[in-house]
Amino acid sequence: MRKQIAAANWKMNLSVSEAATLFDQLLVTEHNLSAHQEAIFAVPAIYIPLATQKLTGKNNYYVAAQNCYPKSNGAYTGEISAPMFASVGVKHIVIGHSERREYFGESDGFLAEKTDAVLAAGSIPIFCCGEPLDIREAGTQNSFVETQLKNSLFHLSAEEITKVVIAYEPIWAIGTGKTASSFQAQEIHAYIRSVFADKYGQAIADQISILYGGSVKASNAKEIFSQPDVDGGLVGGASLIATEFSAIINALK
């Protein structure tokens, strides 16, 4: 069975004391994660030691980085490489979040480099893709997302692509309160899987976890996650509320 994942993206939020309190509140709840289920916390880099400490000894709980630089070392002041994250036990790195694409101009080619760097470090890329509102309204979201995937991931081998987690983000539904219906989520997740099937074969495509990342919350997580091609969520705002994210973890199938 594919990995079912509840991934928290804290973005640039919380003081260190607030982060510690959130972990304490969250971990009071017993989530009883099965072998195929994971809870992943993409925290600001400065809080990775705290997150690692809080999650030590917790089965199927992982710390992730929100970004990395594609070079392994060098004169890149302020950047952090994938091998550096791996050296402190971080095995998941978010790549190409819509905010990185929009605010920092990250191109498909640059994200291909980052993906390669994460895989070379022995880590797992959580690769984000998704369309803005104008593309959705034009009805061209499938071709838009397919282009993102082809440009950044199709140079990978079949073995490498099975190590990548995909996070589909309907950009029009991030932080807006809008959410794709469960039907819309399933429709594009199934299309994304078909894109990989066309390139790598159905057996490989069926191994790839595809997460939904558009305003997931406790009230809609179970319905969205119940869709056959939705393998969990990449969660923003709701991951900053312990009761909300606990319910989202427990909504995994």
Residues near 60 by beta carbon (within 8 Å), at least 6 away in sequence: 33, 34, 35, 37, 38, 39
Place of tokens 């997302």: 145
Cα–Cα distance for residue pair 212/89, rounded to 1 Å:
26
pLDDT of residue 135: 93
Number of helical H runs and strand E runs in the chain: 12, 8
**Tell me, what's the pLDDT at 215?**
84
Position 71 scores a pLDDT of: 98
Q: What is the structure's pLDDT at 30? A: 87
Domain boundaries, the chain: 4-250
| pLDDT value of position 1 | 85
* Rounded Cα distance, 243 and 210, in Å: 24
Q: Rounded to an integer, what is the distance from CA 211 to the centroid of its chain?
A: 7
Stretches in the chain below the pLDDT threshold 50:
none
Residue 173's nearest CA partner among 243, 233, 94 is 233
- The distance of Cα 46 from the centroid of its chain, to the nearest Å, equals 19
The beta strand positions in 76-123, using DSSP E, are 92-95
Q: Is the separation of the CB atoms in 40 and 6 below 8 Å?
A: yes
Per the structure block, which two tokens stand in for 86? 């791996």
Rounded to whole angstroms, the Cα distance separating 200 from 194 reads 10
What dotted CATH number matches 4-250?
A: 3.20.20.70
- Return the active site residues: 97, 169
